């Protein structure tokens, strides 16, 4: 859409009158002493969550309904149900009583998980607009997944169309893609924690080495491609990890969880939480260690999170957060196809190591200028490093000769701020919502590659003096600067139909200043060529991304939605500054452009079924990928560069059936069945490379299916989940024959069955489960670098058990 057309569209929308809604408000308090109760969920009995009470117990929402039944829920108090007439429902006084009877976990969860499951974001939340977007919310606290090991296959089981790498048994890193986007370290999503960036560098190195402990999360918000207008330019969209909040009604709450599992797995998660006067806090410590399911795969991880909040007034608050992660993992290396077929869990790399050191910080100021205008300001930063050490060669089956190892170090130092102002206002005496925001982001990164020691331990020191003829040597300073301004506006053309246009202006400046050292030797190992090549680049670009979302809600149970949004992805530092024996980089590699679109229907039919059925299209220009090229001496090598233009399109659906309500089962019973399906087609529509046009796009399984049954009786719950993914290609030439490196070739189809169960008794909760019950040998990844290169197998059958104590 041209800017001129966009302005005409806005003028047309502004000329249409909007529909006013009824406002409902009130205060929730404790019946014994009238103390205000915070964090009480206010539900519409038919539609779901409407509001959450603030620190003074107040709640407020707008509705077009004339009558409705409200549910007031808090885990500390009795549930209250109230029928209201909305045109006379302001300043309600709600009193909640003690839990005088011991309700079972299942009865409470029936209200929280099934009868009123929050699976989508509202049109407006705090200072963000989600109207017309494809949004999905994972309710982690209610999940039956293996949270101790961050099992993404289970945690994201009801998010349609995700493609997940599964190559470690502790969930040290999240690897999520979808719709043809490479899952590697979730680099095609903007990853955030409580609304601020957590990846290494959102532009130059957007990989997420840090993943929050699932046991400390309340929910995970997933917004697809249309999120590019508010959260960045990525094709994938946004994944935002929302941490648990401080307990608003206790000065101290302690939860400790200890987990034992297969292959020497042990984890501990201990959290402290509470509120005292105007102060609130939530913190946890998470420890993990294990031997891994392959030889040479031990790991140890330590993660600390601390949140401290101060409520100046009812309208003004300040929050600070600090996150620290350190983990060291031995890496068993990659496999060729022949090696995988012989023994999928073998390893011929005993000297490969990987270490991550991550320190995140954030300061958030929030102020409510009025009941219609909210302001937030986030100042965030990262001081982090990642170190990779090991023997790497294009021939994965080559035995490690015990010589010097390849060492790559990356230091990431960045900071920035994001400010947002959201205002609800009147246009022709009707409601509308406007958002304007800005982001400043500055990074100063450093990357060095060279010879490491010839030992076998995790010694991350460079040994250039000891091994001066080592071929892979480089050193770069990699600063960049990003300034963005974005805005969106919800226009209600009627009480049922809304249009949400938006824009994002981006200024990007990326630089690189460093050198490559090129060394060649003869057959005897004598140096015949030794040259340092300086590389200095400075690139600036600015552009505007446009988008629009549509939403039509004929009633509270159904919504038709659609959106289209432009996307942009910069070339990353790993594309231009790393020497990798498994592939070469095309020197003409450039940024990617395109747009995404969604069209769907979603809703909740009388609490019998929750559903989301949609079509999507992802249109990619100058897509970066791998092709096979012939080099000097008839050597065939993978080359990474701009392959061509591509399109991915398909159908994504989620249906969650509340069998308890459908069959009118006993109130002590909980039973749900879900089926999550994604059917995708893809094609390269044009390419300057021969033999590419008409080929399938990489990382696109034709069928992605997850289905499961979750149920419970009183305090007992259980779950069974089945996952199937069709075959995928890993390069644009659609190679089915495997390469010597194991990097290129097909990823065969695979299926997995998982079961889990839990039982709660007073302050204790016991969880247990078996993953990959059928003990299938499979892999989801052909790594181009660490932890490979080569095939990285997934875990065989394994078990876990967790004991939780809450007091």
Dihedral sign, Cα of residue 135, residue 141, residue 142, residue 146: positive
3-state helix, strand, coil in the chain (%, to 5): 10, 55, 35
- Enter the DSSP assignment of 235: S
Q: pLDDT at position 99, please? A: 63
Comparing 22-101 with 124-240, is the CATH topology the same? no
Q: Tell me how far apart the alpha carbons of residues 495 and 34 are, in angstroms, rounded to a whole number.
A: 37
Q: Which whole number is the average pLDDT over 551-558?
A: 92
For the chain, how big is the Rg over CA atoms in Å? Answer: 27
Q: pLDDT at position 636, please? A: 61
Q: Tell me the CA distances in angstroms from 805 to 131, 148, 297, 594, 729, one per residue in order.
A: 40, 14, 30, 49, 46
Q: Tell me how far apart the alpha carbons of residues 384 and 361 are, in angstroms, rounded to a whole number.
A: 11
241-806 has which fold? Maltoporin; Chain A (2.40.170)
Q: Tell me the CA distances in angstroms from 56 to 37, 51, 91, 314, 563, one per residue in order.
A: 7, 14, 13, 7, 37
What dihedral angle (degrees, nearest 10) is formed by the CA atoms of 230, 234, 236, 238?
A: -40
Q: Tell me how far apart the alpha carbons of residues 204 and 478 are, in angstroms, rounded to a whole number.
A: 8
Q: pLDDT at position 20, please? A: 45
pLDDT digits (tens, 9 = 90+) for 64-101: 788 888 999 887 788 888 989 988 899 999 999 876 44
Residue 525 has pLDDT above 80, yes or no: no
Q: pLDDT at position 516, please? A: 84
Host H or E run for residue 107 = helix 105-109
Q: Tell me how far apart the alpha carbons of residues 592 and 618 are, in angstroms, rounded to a whole number.
A: 13
Q: Could you tell me which residues are beta bridge partners of residue 559?
A: 602
Q: Tell me the CA distances in angstroms from 794 to 159, 779, 780, one per residue in order.
A: 21, 5, 7
Residue 454 has pLDDT above 70, yes or no: yes
Q: Tell me how far apart the alpha carbons of residues 280 and 246 are, in angstroms, rounded to a whole number.
A: 6
Identify the band that residue 119 occupies on the pLDDT scale cut at 50, 70 and 90.
confident
Q: Which whole number is the average pLDDT over 683-700?
A: 94
Residue 577 has pLDDT above 70, yes or no: no
Q: Tell me the CA distances in angstroms from 690 to 684, 687, 732, one per residue in order.
A: 12, 7, 11
Host H or E run for residue 340 = helix 337-342
CB atoms closer than 10 angstroms to residue 766: 13
Q: pLDDT at position 744, please? A: 86
- 521, 528 Cβ separation under 8 angstroms: yes
| CA nearest to 469, candidates 489, 450, 485, 486 | 450
Identify the band that residue 203 occupies on the pLDDT scale cut at 50, 70 and 90.
confident
CB atoms closer than 10 angstroms to residue 667: 10
User: Left if phi > 0, otherwise alpha if psi is -120 to 50, otherwise beta: which for 319?
Assistant: beta
Residue listed under structure tokens 């038919």 = 46
Structure tokens that stand for 68 in this block: 């409705």
3-class state of residue 11 by DSSP: helix
**% pLDDT > 90, the chain:** 70
Question: E strands along 452-591, which residues?
Answer: 473-492, 497-521, 527-555, 558-569, 583-585
| CA nearest to 243, candidates 335, 351, 154, 321 | 321
Q: Tell me how far apart the alpha carbons of residues 251 and 281 are, in angstroms, rounded to a whole number.
A: 9
pLDDT digits (tens, 9 = 90+) for 311-331: 999 899 999 999 999 999 999
Q: Number of C-alpha atoms within 13 angstroms, CB side, residue 728?
A: 29
* Weakest-pLDDT range from 114-128, 352-366, 458-472: 114-128
Identify the band that residue 2 occupies on the pLDDT scale cut at 50, 70 and 90.
very low
CATH class given for the domain over 124-240: mainly beta
Q: Tell me how far apart the alpha carbons of residues 117 and 48 are, in angstroms, rounded to a whole number.
A: 7
Every domain of the chain and the residues it spans: 22-101, 124-240, 241-806
Identify the band that residue 363 occupies on the pLDDT scale cut at 50, 70 and 90.
very high
Name the CATH architecture for the domain at 22-101.
Sandwich (2.60)
* Weakest-pLDDT range from 131-140, 167-176, 345-354, 708-717: 167-176
Structure tokens that stand for 508 in this block: 């990007």
CB atoms closer than 10 angstroms to residue 544: 12
Q: pLDDT at position 364, please? A: 98
pLDDT digits (tens, 9 = 90+) for 586-619: 888 899 999 999 999 999 888 889 999 999 999 9
Which comes out higher in pLDDT, residue 583 or 497?
497
Q: Could you tell me which residues are beta bridge partners of residue 774?
A: none
- 490, 14 Cβ separation under 8 angstroms: no
Identify the band that residue 779 occupies on the pLDDT scale cut at 50, 70 and 90.
very high
Q: What phi and psi values does residue 662 have, to the nearest 5 degrees?
A: -60, -45
Averaged pLDDT score across all residues of the chain: 89
Q: Which whole number is the average pLDDT over 701-719?
A: 95
- 493, 455 Cβ separation under 8 angstroms: no
Residue 576 has pLDDT above 70, yes or no: no
pLDDT digits (tens, 9 = 90+) for 482-497: 999 999 999 999 989 9
Residue 534 has pLDDT above 90, yes or no: no
Q: pLDDT at position 100, please? A: 47
Q: What phi and psi values does residue 185 have, to the nearest 5 degrees?
A: 50, 30
Q: pLDDT at position 16, please? A: 35
Q: What is the pTM of this model?
A: 0.88
Question: E strands along 153-216, which residues?
Answer: 162-164, 176-178, 190-193, 196-197
Q: pLDDT at position 578, please? A: 63
- Enter the DSSP assignment of 351: S
Considering 3-7, 245-249, 737-741, the range whose residues carry the highest mean pLDDT is 245-249
Structure tokens that stand for 599 in this block: 């069209």
Structure tokens that stand for 583 in this block: 């592939």
């Amino acid at each position: 859409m041209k800017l001129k057309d966009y302005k005409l569209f806005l003028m047309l929308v502004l000329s249409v009158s909007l529909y006013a809604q009824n406002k409902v408000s009130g205060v929730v308090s404790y019946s014994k002493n009238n103390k205000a109760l915070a964090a009480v969920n206010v539900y519409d009995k038919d539609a779901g969550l409407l509001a959450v009470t603030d620190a003074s117990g107040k709640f407020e929402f707008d509705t077009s309904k004339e009558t409705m039944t409200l549910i007031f829920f808090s885990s500390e108090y009795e549930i209250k149900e109230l029928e209201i007439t909305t045109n006379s429902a302001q300043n309600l006084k709600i009193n909640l009583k003690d839990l005088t009877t011991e309700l079972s976990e299942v009865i409470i969860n029936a209200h929280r998980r099934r009868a009123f499951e929050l699976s989508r974001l509202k049109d407006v939340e705090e200072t963000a607009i989600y109207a017309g977007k494809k949004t999905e919310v994972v309710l982690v606290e209610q999940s039956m997944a293996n949270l101790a090991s961050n099992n993404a296959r289970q945690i994201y089981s009801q998010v349609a169309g995700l493609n997940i790498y599964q190559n470690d048994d502790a969930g040290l890193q999240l690897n999520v893609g979808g719709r043809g986007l490479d899952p590697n370290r979730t680099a095609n999503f903007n990853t955030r924690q409580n609304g601020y960036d957590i990846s290494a560098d959102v532009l130059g190195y957007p990989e997420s080495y840090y993943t929050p402990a699932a046991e400390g999360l309340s929910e995970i918000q997933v917004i697809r491609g249309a999120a590019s207008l508010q959260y960045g330019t990525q094709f994938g969209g946004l994944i935002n990890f929302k941490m648990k909040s401080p307990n608003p009604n206790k000065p101290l709450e302690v939860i400790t969880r200890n987990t034992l599992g297969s292959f020497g797995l042990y984890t501990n998660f201990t959290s402290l939480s509470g509120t005292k006067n105007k102060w609130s806090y939530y913190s946890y410590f998470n420890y993990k260690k294990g031997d891994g399911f392959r030889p040479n795969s031990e790991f140890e991880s330590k993660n600390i999170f601390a949140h401290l909040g101060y409520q100046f007034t009812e309208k003004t608050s300040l929050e600070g957060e600090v996150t620290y992660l350190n983990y060291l993992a031995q890496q068993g290396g990659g496999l060729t196809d022949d090696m995988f077929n012989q023994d999928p869990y073998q390893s011929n790399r005993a000297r490969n190591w990987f270490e991550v050191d991550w320190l995140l910080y954030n300061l958030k100021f929030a102020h409510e200028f009025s009941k219609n205008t909210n302001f937030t300001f986030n100042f965030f930063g990262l001081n982090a490093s990642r170190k990779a050490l090991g023997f790497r060669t294009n021939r994965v089956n080559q035995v490690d000769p015990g010589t010097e190892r390849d060492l790559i170090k990356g230091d990431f130092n960045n900071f920035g701020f994001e400010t947002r102002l959201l205002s609800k206002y009147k246009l022709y005496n009707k409601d509308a919502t406007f958002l304007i925001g800005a982001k400043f982001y500055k990074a100063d990164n450093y990357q060095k590659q060279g010879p490491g020691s010839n030992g076998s331990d995790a010694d991350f020191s460079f040994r250039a003096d000891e091994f001066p003829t080592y071929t892979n040597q480089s050193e770069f300073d990699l600063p960049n600067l990003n300034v963005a301004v974005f805005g969106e506006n919800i226009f209600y053309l009627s009480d049922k139909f809304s249009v949400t246009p938006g824009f994002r202006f981006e200024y990007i400046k990326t630089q690189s200043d460093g050198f490559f050292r090129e060394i060649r030797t003869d057959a005897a190992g004598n140096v015949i060529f030794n040259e340092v090549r300086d590389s200095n680049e400075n690139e600036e670009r600015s552009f505007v991304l446009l988008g629009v979302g549509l939403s039509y809600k004929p009633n509270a149970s159904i919504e038709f939605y659609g959106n289209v949004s432009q996307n942009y992805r910069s070339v990353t530092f790993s594309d231009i500054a790393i020497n990798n024996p498994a592939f070469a980089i095309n020197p003409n590699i450039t940024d990617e452009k395109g747009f995404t679109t969604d069209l769907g229907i979603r809703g909740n039919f009388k609490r019998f079924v929750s559903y989301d059925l949609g079509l999507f299209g992802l249109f990619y220009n100058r897509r970066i990928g791998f092709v096979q090229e012939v080099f000097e001496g008839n050597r065939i090598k993978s080359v990474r560069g701009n392959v061509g233009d591509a399109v991915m399109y398909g159908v994504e659906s989620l249906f969650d059936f509340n069998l308890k309500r459908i069959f009118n089962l006993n109130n002590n019973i909980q039973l749900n069945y879900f089926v999550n399906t994604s059917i995708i087609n893809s094609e390269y529509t044009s390419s300057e490379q021969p033999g590419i046009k008409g080929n399938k796009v990489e990382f696109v399984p034709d069928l992605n299916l997850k289905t499961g049954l979750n149920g419970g009786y009183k305090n007992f719950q259980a779950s069974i989940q089945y996952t199937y993914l069709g075959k995928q290609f890993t390069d644009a030439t659609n190679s089915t024959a495997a390469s010597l490196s194991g990097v290129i070739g097909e990823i065969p189809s695979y299926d997995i069955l998982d079961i889990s169960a839990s039982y709660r008794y007073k302050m204790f909760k016991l969880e247990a489960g078996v993953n990959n019950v059928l003990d299938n040998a499979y892999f989801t990844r052909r790594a181009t670098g660490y932890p490979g290169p080569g095939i990285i197998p997934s875990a065989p059958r394994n078990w876990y058990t967790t004991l939780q104590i809450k007091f």
